[in-house]
Amino acid sequence: MPERRLGLALPGGTDDVTSNAARRRTPWARTLFPETLMRLTSVVMLTALTTLAATSLGAQAATAPKRTVISFQPLNAIFSVYSAEIEHAVSSSVTLGVGGSYWSYNDDFGDTKYTSGDLKVKFYPESHPLQGFSFGGQVGYTSISDRPSDAFGGSSTTNGPTIGVALDYNWLLGASKATYVGLGVGAKKIFANSDDIGDATLAYPTARISIGYAF
């Protein structure tokens, strides 16, 4: 009898194994590579946006408009005049401030001391508060004590309200505009009884060179 060979297609044959493996690999490659690329792209974009936002916020913080200045007058201290103030912008052209000062002078007639506190308002016509030209006024209260030399009798004290005017020019310097330099002149009048205080001056000019910090 002629030999007959049964052709059996084995499920585990080589061709089937190769075909199945190819079918298994192809969807994995098609799915994983685009997904990985999308995730990597998202991470890069998120990192770039975060860095850009942080840089932008840092630049805005460094150049943000300054609203408040704390300053003092170091050069006037050489002449025994000690003064400091704080100034705050309440609008684009108006600031309010509070200042205090103490000064004294000695002569052949005795020792006179002034202690005062003032509320100040300034107007900046260029609408750059704390910078450039400004003019304004102030009201306050001053205490004066006068101690004559022994040859002229005992000491005396008087108090009274004050008014004043000022013309100023200020700069905000540095990369962050935090260094404040101010120049100013003005005048002040003390409403007190001159008979109570000897040779004390009740009206006098003022001048300032101020150094401070703006924030």
Tens digit of pLDDT for each residue in 28-43? 445 555 566 566 566 5
How large is the average pLDDT for residues 172-183?
Answer: 95
How large is the average pLDDT for residues 48-69?
Answer: 65
DSSP state of 93: S
| pLDDT at residue 110, rounded to an integer | 72
φ, ψ for residue 152 (rounded to 5)? -115, 15
Q: How many CA atoms lie within 13 A of 208 on its CB side?
A: 26
pTM: 0.67
pLDDT in tens, 134-160: 999 999 999 998 877 665 566 788 899
Round to whole Å and give the CA distance between 153 and 85: 36
Q: Tokens at residue 197, please?
A: 């205080």
| pLDDT at residue 129, rounded to an integer | 94
Tokens 């003092």 locate to 72
Which phi-psi region, left, alpha or beta, contains residue 73 (left: φ > 0; alpha: ψ -120 to 50)?
A: beta
